[in-house]
Amino acid sequence: MIQFISAFSVATSYVVAIYWIQPQNIQGKDRNDPDVIRFRFKRISLLCAALLIMVPFAKSSPYLETVKSFGILPGFTQSTGIVNDVINVMKSLLLISTLYMGPLYLYFSEPFSIAYDWVENFTTIEGVRDHVFAPVTEELIYRGIISAITNAWYTPYLFGIAHLHHAYRLLTTTKISIGIIAFNTVFQFAYTSIFGVLANHVYLKYERNLWCPIIIHCMCNLIGFPTIVVDSGATSVHAAVYYTLILAGSIGFYMLL
């Protein structure tokens, strides 16, 4: 019970940190407002620093051994060394790229600009939040730190529970119907919980190397949920290739797990 309370407290601390005692200048503003994002960057950074200090002290194992179990620094994990850590990260990238074979095909088969996409996804404040800051800090807390507390079956679902606050935001700031919000919430909980199961599996399989679930998290945030319906303007061959790659990617992903 103590482990559950500790894990649940750490999981909910991420949400509490971004909502607790907000300064007046960001109250009522959208989550994508630069002031809101900067505030959340500061709060979550302080939270991560505090947890990195406190959690190892609360463990009975040596401090550095607990820090090592987080898998933050390549070469300072539970693997045999930095070369093995890099190989494990590459295996994780291969795993998620295999799953996303269909979406990647769509991306590279249509006009695109790598330079523009790089700027949008990795240099804007929203892009950094979604594709760098969130994957790193969320995986540190929901994989590294919580796994140091317990590896119980419920830990992946704590990640799903932590996303339920989006329903409250939609209820209080939009005019979207309760039915649609409920559907979106259930879908998001299921999606994020399944992701939590995958991230936990990858983290433990690859010797608690935190950068393995981080790279998968980044890819998932970049690509999102694969489209079900291909653009109506696409040829039948184009659509057939996409759906074939979706199937092949799913099979290949399962085999690589």
- Residues 232-253 pLDDT 10s: 666 788 889 999 999 999 999 9
Average pLDDT (7-35) is 92
pLDDT at 145 over 90: yes
Tokens of 109: 């088969």
pLDDT at 223 over 80: yes
Average pLDDT (149-165) is 89
Distance CA 171, CA 182 (A): 10
Distance CA 234, CA 219 (A): 25
Distance CA 121, CA 221 (A): 10
Average pLDDT (181-185) is 89
Q: SS3 of 31, please?
A: coil
Distance CA 174, CA 181 (A): 10
Q: Enumerate the domain spans of the chain.
A: 2-256
pLDDT at 155 over 70: yes
pTM (predicted TM-score): 0.91
Average pLDDT (57-61) is 82
